[in-house]
Amino acid sequence: MRCFPLILFLSAALMCSGCLGQTSPHVRSFSKEEQSDHARHAEAAEIYDQAMLLMHGGEFLEPDAALELLNHALELDPTLVNAHYYRATLLVQKGRGAEGLADVDTVIKARPDFKEAHFIRGGLMLQNSEFEQAIKDYTKVIEIDPNIAEAYARRGICYSELNRKTEAVADFTSALALNPAHVDAHYFRGKALEDTGNLEGALHDLTEAFVLASHNVRIIEGRAQVARKLKEYDLAAADYRRAIVLSPGVARYYSSLGDVLLASGDKANAITAVEQALRLARAYGDARMIAIYDEQLTIFRAWVYK
């Protein structure tokens, strides 16, 4: 038992001798410039957080205030990727697409798999008719997340604009598999099918679009055009009349209605419709359309009274 104090003493002595051989760790001191950078980045992060407090349900409740805060944060720290992204969304909403595009490019350069940034850039490219680049961005979105119906629909529109109808139809079909109520997918697939000669398929899709958005004159006119090609004149006439009720100042609806009514044998009402188209063209002072409708009316009258 007497050995224990000696052992403890020797152990303590050895530990102390080891301590004497050690030096205290070196604490690196930061330069004034580094301290300033740290402070600036911390302030930028705090301001960014203030901007994000203005977001609710995915939207900024006070867009102008949020934009001002994000501008300030990025002045202090241009490396804040999320700040660039959210500023881009605000700029695009304000119609400042070129500025928004610069921010989105910065985001994608820093984080190539940022799908939301690719989606925004795809939209800007589509808006600028840069369809090939838009396709690349939407393809990237789909590669990252293949369950976004809107990405397929928008890429399909790009393919349609490039006259790549088969690929367009495939994308619209993919969009509808994910979201059967996607109005644009039905409409644009209908138009693509019309362009490829599948009029029955086109009429089906345009009717689906009409059911989902019965006050959309673009859809109504699109279905009327296909119905006319299929010689379903009653349906075509009904759709042109719907379009006229919704947009009574559009002269071409009256002109097209006149064509359909004449084809169905309703000559008197056909003339009345074209006369209204001509009146509107004159009211607008559109010399080119005045000449077109005047000639159409002359032909109709000659056909009726011959």
Q: Tally the domains of the chain.
A: 1
- At residue 19, the pLDDT reads 41
Q: Say what the pLDDT of residue 36 is.
A: 73
Supply the pLDDT for residue 34. 66
- Mean pLDDT calculated for residue range 198-214: 98
Torsion of CA 135, 138, 144, 145, to 10 degrees: -130
Q: Is residue 190 within 8 Å of residue 158, measured between CB atoms?
A: no
| Domain membership flag for residue 244 | yes
pLDDT at 31: 72
Q: Give the three-class secondary structure for 56.
A: strand
Give 240-286 pLDDT, tens digit per residue: 999 999 999 999 999 999 999 999 999 999 999 999 999 999 999 99
> pLDDT band at 303, cuts 50/70/90?
confident
The reply to whether 243 falls in a domain is yes
Lowest mean pLDDT among 16-25, 148-157, 225-234, 275-284: 16-25
Asked whether the predicted pLDDT for residue 16 surpasses 60, the reply is no
* Least confident stretch, 17-21, 73-77, 151-155, 207-211: 17-21
Segment among 3-17, 124-138, 169-183 with least mean pLDDT: 3-17
Q: Answer whether residue 20 shows pLDDT above 70.
A: no
Statement: residue 302 has pLDDT above 90: no
pLDDT at residue 305, rounded to an integer: 66
CA–CA separation, 88 and 237 (whole Å): 45
Q: At residue 8, does pLDDT exceed 50?
A: no
Number of neighbouring beta carbons within 10 Å of residue 254 = 24
Is 288 a member of any domain? yes
pLDDT digits (tens, 9 = 90+) for 212-224: 999 999 999 999 9
200 domain-assigned: no
Name residue 259's amino acid: D
Which of 87, 95, 80, 150 lies closest to 119, judged by CA?
150
Q: Using alpha carbons only, what angle is made at residue 48 by residues 43 and 51, rounded to the nearest 5 degrees?
A: 130
User: Once rounded to an integer, what is the mean pLDDT over residues 24-40?
Assistant: 68
pLDDT of residue 26 exceeding 70: no
Domain residues for the domain of 275 are 216-306
Average pLDDT over residues 199-222: 98
Task: Return d(Cα 235, Cα 226) in angstroms, integer.
Answer: 10
Q: What is the pTM of this model?
A: 0.84
Convert the pLDDT of each residue in 151-194 to its tens digit: 999 999 999 999 999 999 999 999 999 999 999 999 999 999 99
Confidence grade of residue 39 (pLDDT, cut at 50, 70, 90) = confident
Domain with residue 271: its CATH number is: 1.25.40.10
Residue 262 lies in a domain: yes
pLDDT value, residue 44 = 92
pLDDT of residue 209: 98
Predicted confidence (pLDDT) per residue in 64-123, tens digit: 999 999 999 999 999 999 999 999 999 999 999 999 999 999 999 999 999 999 999 999
Q: Is 145 helix (H, G, I), strand (E, B) or coil?
A: coil
Asked whether residue 15 carries a pLDDT value surpassing 70, the answer given is: no
Say if residue 150's pLDDT is above 60: yes
Neighbour-count burial of 280, counting CB atoms closer than 10 A to its CB (0-12 exposed, 13-18 middle, 19+ buried): buried
Its sign, for the CA torsion 262, 265, 267, 270, is negative
**Alpha helices by DSSP H, 111-250:** 115-127, 131-144, 149-161, 165-178, 183-195, 199-212, 217-229, 233-246
